[in-house]
Structure 1
Amino acid sequence: MKAAIVTEAGVMPTYSTFKEPKETEEELKVNVKASALSNLTKMRALGKHYSSTQTFPIVAGTDGVGTLGDGTRVYFAMPTAPFGSLAEQTLVNKHLIVPIPDELDDVTAAAIANPGMSSWGALVGRAKFQAGQTVLINGATGSAGSLAVKIAYHLGAKKVIVAGRNAEKLAKLGADVAVSFDMTAENGAQNFETKLAPYFQEGIDVVLDYLWGDSALAIMLAGAEAGGDHTTKFISIGAASGQPEISLPSAVLRSSKIEILGSGVKSVSMKNLLIAIKGVFDWAAADKITIPTTTYDLKNIAEAWKAPLTPRAVIKVN
């Protein structure tokens, strides 16, 4: 079969031929229809993600949309190595599939699953979010962050605050409050903390952080400085800032009610991730939710691999 194959760590996938999977009682063969190129897909394929465990060669791709032997349309996650989602067929544990509503097309389902799950799983699974709470989304202008705004409101958020570098894009997200920052400017971090102060004084229940780095540190410092008896759950979802490490004073945690949690593969069980994705699918189908996408044929994987994360690159296979 045709597939996007990674031959060794750090090497981009190439379009070539790979052995076909064989179905078993526990592992189902899926005829792949579409697969989105998320950051998770790219980092796992290159062996650079914290959850990477595979040996090479492998077929790239961590999730996608396809059909089972009986024609049932499904979303699938974490194909059995060495198979992946960027191929004509793949092999998936029977417990790692989710039916797709008829109202949701293949491209939309493939594109929305990962970014939608990132906030849905973080809010419901990690933050134990309750309707009426206030949510701050740091890094809200990307595919996942902008979708998180809609999901927070759908789940009952009273107020949504968005933060990021691009003030113009933030203003278009439909949030209650937009707070822009420039960490490269003189006193950039302090200015960001000052802007956030009144909102922490009012009470922020959940922070969904897609960036980490300097802006994440500024948010935690602002929360600690605000004081009070309000608990804030800071959920780390990604490190899109390119700064995987921060220097956090221990006093921030001792002097505040900030709780730091992670949300992703391993910190959220696969069962709960799939429950989150089902929730995203049902919501997207009912409310006709879409996200910007660019589609590519599987044979053009090299071009698609270099495309930006927004709009979401989706590989159409069959």
Structure 2
Amino acid sequence: MKAAYISRYGNIDDVKLDEQSKPLITENDVLVKIHAASINPLDLRVLEGEFKVIQPVKFPFILGNDFAGTVVQVGANVKQFKAGDEVYAKTDQNGAFAEYTVVHQSSLALKPQNISMELAASLPLVSLTAWQALVEIAKVQAGQKVLIHAGSGGVGSIAIQLAKYLGATVATTTSTKNMDWVKDLGADIVIDYKNTDFEEQLKEYDVVFDTQGGKTLEKSLSVLKRGGCIVSISGPPDQAFAESLNTNWLLKKIIPLLSWSIRHKAKKREIKYSFMFMKPNGQQLAQISQLVEAGTIKPVIDTTYEFSRVKEALKYVNTGRSKGKVVLNMLP
């Protein structure tokens, strides 16, 4: 099968588009013919080896985290899916930039019926990230105030819609050109981060969803009220993340030290800091499918590329200028 893969950590020029072996299924797996896949900044971080110490990959490694497609074959223990089903998922073992992928049945969900394969492929990673941050960890309630950084990005654009569905007042940061666009997504307050310091405009918030890390993460502490929480997908990892890793005891001791400073500053303000690394979850995706079919959440695509132009698509995502998701059409 044709696949986009790497044989070593490096940069986009190291991505190869060539033949790889078709994956095999076990009793709890599902083989899917991929129709569309989407690109995430995470793909670039994996490619560059950012996680090689804590989550090394086995080469050759097929890239890609999001896909939508049609079930071809199911394992002996799979009961809820059958050949011909239209499905989507965040990958859990094999990459998505390929003609076929294998995924555990627990990670898979039926594709929303009212959208295309391309739109469905844009959703799994970003929607699960938003769900796990806002619903699972932050437990956002109606009437709360939530700040979502980078509202025009893939994660931010879905998080705004989800937070509004949960009944929150939503503030977000974006560039001048995207201010009206994120308002249309549901943002109540929009901060032009290039011209305004968000920490001077926003106060007494219940939740901050941080997608930027660094100085943005630290400044976000001043936005929160006592008892508030900040969930970050870009800040330093915490103890809970370290414990979830299948790694040696020394790394599990060292990793939480990376977040000591931000956790200490948060504790002084009686704020809870949580680092989140999204996990595949088919049940949550099924709930997200219901929201999509109800029109509550609308996928956002910036550009679609043919699979043969995967390197060009990766380079575009790397510019950080995409508004919503970049999708690959995997069919010839």
Report 1:90-109 matches (<5 A). Answer: 90-109=101-120
Aligned residues of 1:3 and 1:298 also touching (Cα < 8 A): no
2:9 aligned partner, one-letter code = A
Per-residue CA deviations over 1:64-100 (Å, capped at 9, x if unaligned) read 11111211111133242xx311111112222221111
SS in 1 for 2:284: helix
Q: Structure 2 vs 1, CA of residues 300 and 250 (structure 1 numbering), >3 Å: closer, same or farther? A: closer
RMSD of aligned C-alpha atoms?
2.6
| 1:78 equivalenced with 2:74 (yes/no) | no
Partner letter of residue 60 of structure 1? Answer: L
Write the letter of the residue equivalent to 1:64. F
Q: Alignment length, in residue pairs?
A: 288
Q: Given the alignment, which residue of 60, 64, 75 partners 2:63?
A: 60
Change (3 A) 1:127 1:147: same
| 1:139-158 deviation digits (Å, cap 9, x = unpaired) | 2232221322111111211x
Paired with 2:303 and 2:263, the residues of 1 have a C-alpha distance of 44
Aligned to 1:205: 206
Aligned-residue offset at 1:138: 1.9
User: What is the one-letter code of the residue matched to 2:199?
Assistant: E
> Which residue of structure 2 aligns with residue 242 of structure 1?
none
1:119 CA drift (Å)? 1.6
Q: Which amino acid aligns with 2:84?
A: G
Tell me if 1:238 matches 2:234: yes
Q: Which of 278, 284, 287 is the aligned partner of 2:286? A: 278
SS of the residue aligned with 1:307?
helix
Relative to structure 1, is the Cα distance of residues 256 and 34 closer, same or farther in structure 2, using a 3 angstrom cutoff?
A: same
The residue type equivalent to 2:87 in the other structure is V
Q: TM-score, normalised by structure 1?
A: 0.81
Given the alignment of the two structures, is residue 306 of structure 1 paired with residue 315 of structure 2, yes or no? yes
Change (3 A) 1:247 1:79: closer
**Separation in structure 1 between the aligned mates of residue 261 and residue 119 of structure 2, nearest angstrom:** 39
Residues 65 and 106 of structure 1 are in contact (CA less than 8 Å); yes or no, is this contact kept in structure 2?
A: yes
The aligned amino acid for 1:125 is E
Unpaired runs of at least 5, structure 2: 73-82, 236-257
Aligned match for 1:194, one of 196, 200, 205 = 200
Residues 296 and 128 from structure 1, CA distance in 2 versus in 1: closer, same or farther, beyond 3 angstroms?
A: same
Please tell me whether residue 131 in structure 1 is matched to residue 127 in structure 2: no
> Does 2:293 align with 1:297?
no
Shift of 1:221: 3.4
Give 3-state SS (helix, strand or coil) of 2:106's partner. coil
Question: Aligned to 1:15, what secondary structure does the other structure show?
Answer: strand
Matched residues in 1 for 2:129 and 2:7: separation? 29
Report the counterpart of residue 33 of structure 2 in structure 1. 31
Are 2:231 and 2:273, in contact at CA under 8 Å, matched by a contact in 1? Answer: yes
| 2:112–2:292 CA contact under 8 A, matched in 1 | no
Which amino acid is 2:89 matched to?
F
Counterpart AA for 1:28 = V
> C-alpha distance in 2, partners of 1:78/1:54?
14
Task: Among all aligned residue pairs of Structure 1 and Structure 2, give the percentage whose two residues are the same amino acid.
Answer: 25
CA deviation after TM superposition for structure 1 residue 285, in Å: 2.2
Q: Return the match for 2:189 from 165, 174, 177.
A: 177
Deviation at 1:291, TM superposition (A): 0.7
